[in-house]
Structure 1
Amino acid sequence: MPRLVITGVGQDKRSAVVLDGPISAYKDYPEYQGIRISDLWKSGSLPTPLEIPHAANTHTVGPNVDAGSAGFNVRHIVFPPRGDYALHTTPTIDFAVVLSGEIVAVLENGETALHAGDIFIQRATQHGWRNPTERPCSMLLFIASAK
């Protein structure tokens, strides 16, 4: 699993690493073909309050996007091999980076194959995902509320 490093301000009022380790707060969703989700950092508003303790932002929520009405969510997702995820719409702009593996972005008007290193920006459209391979696909998403 990827390593998560979070900075903050130490007791000496100097910048420091306050969390460094593998992402451990995953939740598996068997009802969604075993997809694994971890919300790494989220805020219901911008600008984001900096006084939120880092531990409060390393948790897992349901598969539904929760970016608030003016916020964001940074999420790590692992799509299992041979998974097929139905079309859905979220009121968000999603900036997705494929970290490893392959995934197919499914849209109403076609499909686009994405590979490690590819960036996909989804703008509140009907979309779904399909992993046609025998390997998991790891993806980092920055999900921002949209109107």
Structure 2
Amino acid sequence: MTSDASKTSSSIRRIVTGERPDGSSVLVSDEVVDAIEVPLVPGAQFFSLWGSDAPPTLPNAGGEPDFSKWFPPAGGYRFQMIVLPPAGAKPDADLDMKQALRETETKLPGMITKMDPKNPGMHQTDSIDLIFVTSGACELELGDGTKVAVGTGEAVVQNGPRHAWRNPHDEPCNLLTVTLGTKRNG
């Protein structure tokens, strides 16, 4: 696997460390995480790199925590890479939409329920999202119609707004994300 962040890959190497009961360091795993792809969003890749539905604690042996949904609950977190396809990527004209929705729910549990069916990609989650563009460029569109161009080496901190990510360009855009589940008051 190449370490060149400007290239899109169908897998990412993930190295996990931990701590033994005696306090010594340990390499827990060194493995490849494959991309999740769904026909509903052709060309997009989703990498679930790490996460938990509970706050992290130390010491930690480094075992992979259990979590079941794409977006974390309050106190949980997710570490993900999302590759936005270039402009013009559309589902096949003969796509069975019910099957595509079922497949997306199976591969990316909970994602579809957060999406606005009238405005594809627009969604809102109870989370603080820390996003870094590792390569490419895209637009962050907010629920009020505001659009912000974001490019390689730039970061976004989202504090729970309704939003969508759009890629109006000819190249993929890679978003490295850390999502912190929060409780929405009010």
Q: Fold-level match, TM-score > 0.5?
A: yes
Higher radius of gyration, 1 or 2: 2
CA-based RMSD: 2.7
What is the aligned counterpart of 1:39 among 4, 25, 48?
48
The Cα offsets for residues 86-142 of structure 1, whole Å up to 9 and x where unpaired, read as 211111111000011111101123111111111001111110011111111111100
What is the aligned counterpart of 1:78 among 49, 74, 83?
83
Percentage of pairs with the same residue: 28
Report the counterpart of residue 140 of structure 2 in structure 1.
105
Name stretches of at least 5 consecutive residues in structure 1 with no aligned partner. none
The Cα offsets for residues 68-95 of structure 1, whole Å up to 9 and x where unpaired, read as 2211011111111115952111111110
- Where does structure 1 differ by over 4 angstroms across 4 or more consecutive aligned residues? 10-13
Report the counterpart of residue 122 of structure 1 in structure 2.
158
CA contact (8 A) 2:136 2:174 kept: yes
Report the counterpart of residue 71 of structure 2 in structure 1.
66
More strand by share: 1
Whether 2:23 is the aligned partner of 1:18: answer no
Name stretches of at least 5 consecutive residues in structure 2 with no aligned partner. 1-8, 91-119
TM-score by length of 1: 0.80
Q: How many residues were matched structurally?
A: 141
